[in-house]
């Protein structure tokens, strides 16, 4: 629990001379976020809201979602000789749409709970960039979690490769837009896996020094 809490803290807070810069949730999940200055007491109150009560359950839900995405891709694409681009778009929308809606509902619920705290905080032009968040998470994420995420992304990437191989028996790869889209997904997942494995390797080296 403490490791998960540290990761959340690192992604939404940054230490500054006046206290902490807090990156508030975006109601649409993605895009520009508002930043506020927080005191130590306000930070503690915010953390009590932002840290979920059952982090392992959320992690399990993410894992299941990724596995379902890979399985659905295989079911939707490998069984059709000539699936259209519309088929692929519908598949992605059906899988990712509810996930995105869930994220929006969660973000807005947190914003609602944070409203009384944010009312007493000053807005600031200081920001927490995505680069700041990546660097902070790399420093706080445990070695085991990095390996687990790397393994999960590797498995998801291999699922996409399996879909490509299955389709190649019916369609030439370079003449099949769906296979090329799946290949792009496999590459992105593979790069994500490589990123986490690299971070895990660096953390293991640091632990030995």
| pTM, full prediction | 0.70
The closest of 40, 50, 66 to 9, measured between CA atoms, is: 50
The domain spans of the chain are 141-208
Distance CA 199, CA 30 (A): 24
Tens of pLDDT along the chain (209 residues)?
456 788 899 999 999 999 999 999 999 998 889 999 999 999 999 999 998 776 566 666 666 666 666 556 555 555 555 556 666 666 666 667 777 888 899 899 999 999 999 999 999 999 999 889 888 888 888 898 899 999 989 998 998 888 888 777 777 766 667 777 788 889 999 999 999 999 999 888 887 76
């Amino acid at each position: 629990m403490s490791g998960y809490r540290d990761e959340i803290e690192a992604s939404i807070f940054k230490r500054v001379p006046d206290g902490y810069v807090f990156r508030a949730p975006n109601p649409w999940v993605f895009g520009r976020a508002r930043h506020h200055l927080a005191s130590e007491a306000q930070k503690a109150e915010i953390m009590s809201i932002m840290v979920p009560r059952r982090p392992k359950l959320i992690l399990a839900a993410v894992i299941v979602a990724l596995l379902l995405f890979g399985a659905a891709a295989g079911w939707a694409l490998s069984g059709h000789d000539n699936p259209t681009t519309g088929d692929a778009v519908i598949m992605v929308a059906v899988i990712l749409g509810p996930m995105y809606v869930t994220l929006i509902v969660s973000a807005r619920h947190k914003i609602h709970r944070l409203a009384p705290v944010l009312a007493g905080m000053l807005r600031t032009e200081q920001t927490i960039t995505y680069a700041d968040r990546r660097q902070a998470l790399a420093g706080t994420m445990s070695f085991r979690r990095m390996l687990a995420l790397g393994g999960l992304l590797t498995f998801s990437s291999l699922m996409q490769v399996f879909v490509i191989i299955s389709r190649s028996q019916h369609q030439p790869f370079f003449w099949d837009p769906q296979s090329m889209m799946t290949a792009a997904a496999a590459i992105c997942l593979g790069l994500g896996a490589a990123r986490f494995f690299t971070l895990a390797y660096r953390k293991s080296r640091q632990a030995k020094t």
